[in-house]
Amino acid sequence: MNGQKKYILSLDLGSSAAGAVLFSAKGEVLKHLQKEYEKYYPEPGWIEVDPNEIWFTMLSVIEELVDEAGIRADEIAGIGIANQRETTVIWDRENGEPVYNAIAWQDRRTSKLCDEFRYQGFSEMIRQKTGLILDAYFSASKISWILDHVPDARIRAEQGQLAFGTIDSWLVWKLTGGRRHVTDITNASRTMLYNIHAQVWDMELLRLFNIPHKLLPEVCSNSELIAQTAPGVLEAEIPIAGMAGDQQAALFGQMCLEPGMVKNTYGSGCFALMNTGSRPIVSDHHLLTTIAWRIGGQITYALEGSVFGGSSVFRWIRDGLGLIESTAEIEELARTEPDNGGVLFVPALSGLGTPYWDPYARGMIIGITRGTSSGHIARAALEGVALGIADALEAMEKDSGRAIRELRVDGTSSTYGFFMQMQTNILQYPVMRPSVMPASATGVAYLAGLATGFWTLDEVRAQYKTARIYSPEAPAESNVKLRERWQKAIARVKNWDL
């Protein structure tokens, strides 16, 4: 390691906030700052963000972190970028201005387009090539929508005047002063345009979605010298050397390096990934087959369960119902009751993900009586998220043929002890939280550190430590009635908004 280079900087762009984390050579978090940015809801089911707001928020976080940490930018060995996946940005290559707001991953406006392709019989072809389920969740239909609804956008895209990217691409473009249009292979694999077997943009899929190849970024590996920040953007030119979608980054940050190891991130949505090694597994239970990472030419695949209702549910209880003042208070409110009082909460606020994949499902609170309290609703909300995760992990066991022995967890809600105990009681195996979080920022720090020679793989393995292990305290039999009632509730929300 170069003695003048003392730090790795991770940029962690989540669904609600832009964060930056400064790591020491020992893998310790020296400074962590984040700021929330606005989301916009122009119509029901539509969710947008302003790409320029994302950029200026991230830039201000970087500048404040460097200033408050009392370091020089030229002491940073490398930058890693983790980002919310699938969120779609298209911008003008000449002036760098977005042609439309970024369409967020939760946005459902293109569900009808995906339905049309499904009715035409394209679902299996898409799944075989991309490992993904035909759904509005992914970037392809979002790109088509922007090209079809922004005046002259399609013509300009065909002429090579526009650039598409997920948020990693947008940040690299801004950090390099527009010199690099690139994405990493994990984000590419979430666009529904990338062939995860041939590892190329798929021309048949581009024709299906009517997307010009000229619009797409170059695809890089997850740990390599990707780009250099432009002079004047930061106070020094720093290599960008690690990039990954946030969930793949968290899998790496949790050191799930062996096949069969599983992590779950409790963010706005909840995302469980299982390392499946060099072999992609095609799911029979509505899991996604995705690329975990590519390092040194070697590719690792994963199975993913996507549960759309996570801390977004707790924020709705805060903002929509006004029952709590902060999301962390959900536990305190839930503890006021010994059980859920017969209340079930299906947190399908943005539809249902794994293993149901129903974009038309909607959230439901059922079992309410005159005796129902806010504590019952809070407890049912926690249970609803935990039960959704259990469904996804059960599907993962069936597809992989592997029994899950432990679940490594991260994300803000993983720090809620009562919630994690509830989760392990439902799962009936240990839940483990690492000592260093966020795991996504840790993962891309490791990827950047490996590419720059700041760390070796043995060093990053040694840095991983567990802060807390939760073990089941209730017998499996106690879950039987809850799981049965949960399935009855799931049946009632399906296809609600069709």
Q: What is the pLDDT of residues 338-373, one digit of tens each?
A: 999 999 999 998 888 889 988 889 999 999 999 999
CATH of the domain at 204: 3.30.420.40
Give the pLDDT score at 359: 81
Count Cβ atoms below 10 Å from residue 362 Cβ, excluding itself: 17
Phi-psi region of 429 (alpha: psi -120 to 50; beta: other; left: phi over 0): beta
263: DSSP letter: E
Confidence category of residue 102, pLDDT binned at 50, 70, 90: very high
Confidence category of residue 95, pLDDT binned at 50, 70, 90: very high
The number of angstroms, rounded, from the C-alpha of 400 to the middle of its chain's C-alpha atoms is 21
Q: Per the domain annotation, does 119 fall within a domain?
A: yes
Report which of 292, 284, 360, 249 is spatially closest to residue 127, judged by C-alpha positions.
284
Q: Model-level pTM greater than 0.75?
A: yes
C-alpha distances out from residue 29 to 33, 338, 438, 496, Å: 11, 37, 10, 45
Q: Per the domain annotation, does 114 fall within a domain?
A: yes
Count Cβ atoms below 10 Å from residue 483 Cβ, excluding itself: 13
Tell me what the mean pLDDT of segment 414-436 comes to. Answer: 93
Q: Are 21 and 29 in contact (CB under 8 A)?
A: yes
Average pLDDT, the chain: 92
Tokens of 46: 């539509």
Tokens of 341: 């009082």
Q: What is the pLDDT of residues 104-113, one digit of tens each?
A: 988 889 988 9
Q: What is the pLDDT of residues 67-90, one digit of tens each?
A: 999 988 889 999 999 998 999 999
Strand pairing class (7-13; 76-83): parallel
Count Cβ atoms below 10 Å from residue 81 Cβ, excluding itself: 31
Count Cβ atoms below 10 Å from residue 469 Cβ, excluding itself: 12
Q: Which positions ≥6 away from 95 have C-beta within 8 Å? A: none
Give the pLDDT score at 3: 61
Confidence category of residue 476, pLDDT binned at 50, 70, 90: confident
What is the Cα–Cα distance from 491 to 472, expressed in whole angstroms? Answer: 28
Q: Which positions ≥6 away from 480 have C-beta within 8 Å? A: none
Q: Residue 300: pLDDT above 90?
A: yes
303, β-bridge pairs: 274, 289
Which helix (H) or strand (E) element contains residue 194? Answer: strand 194-195
Q: Per the domain annotation, does 110 fall within a domain?
A: yes
Count Cβ atoms below 10 Å from residue 208 Cβ, excluding itself: 18
C-alpha distances out from residue 157 to 14, 114, 154, 216, Å: 28, 22, 5, 10
What is the Cα–Cα distance from 304 to 283, expressed in whole angstroms? Answer: 10
Q: Per the domain annotation, does 19 fall within a domain?
A: yes
Q: Are 1 and 25 in contact (CB under 8 A)?
A: yes
Q: Are 433 and 414 in contact (CB under 8 A)?
A: yes
C-alpha distances out from residue 312 to 44, 225, 326, 347, Å: 16, 35, 12, 9
Q: Residue 2: pLDDT above 60?
A: no
Strand pairing class (364-366; 162-165): unpaired
Q: Residue 1: pLDDT above 80?
A: no
Give the pLDDT score at 253: 94
Q: Per the domain annotation, does 351 fall within a domain?
A: no
Q: Per the domain annotation, does 65 fall within a domain?
A: yes
Give the pLDDT score at 411: 87
Tell me what the mean pLDDT of segment 369-383 comes to. Answer: 95
Strand pairing class (262-266; 407-410): parallel
- Which structural domain, as residue segments, surrounds residue 165? 7-246
Confidence category of residue 14, pLDDT binned at 50, 70, 90: confident
Tell me what the mean pLDDT of segment 314-342 comes to. Answer: 93
Q: What is the pLDDT of residues 442-465, one digit of tens each?
A: 999 999 999 999 999 999 999 889
Q: Per the domain annotation, does 439 fall within a domain?
A: no
The end-to-end CA distance of the chain, in Å, is 57
Tell me what the mean pLDDT of segment 294-315 comes to. Answer: 91
Give the pLDDT score at 351: 86
State the total domains in the chain: 1
Burial of 495 (C-beta count, 10 Å sphere; 0-12/13-18/19+): exposed
Tokens of 397: 């066991």
Q: Per the domain annotation, does 208 fall within a domain?
A: yes
Give the pLDDT score at 142: 97
Q: Residue 436: pLDDT above 80?
A: no
23, β-bridge pairs: 8, 29
Confidence category of residue 478, pLDDT binned at 50, 70, 90: confident
Report which of 486, 250, 253 is spatially closest to residue 364, judged by C-alpha positions.
486
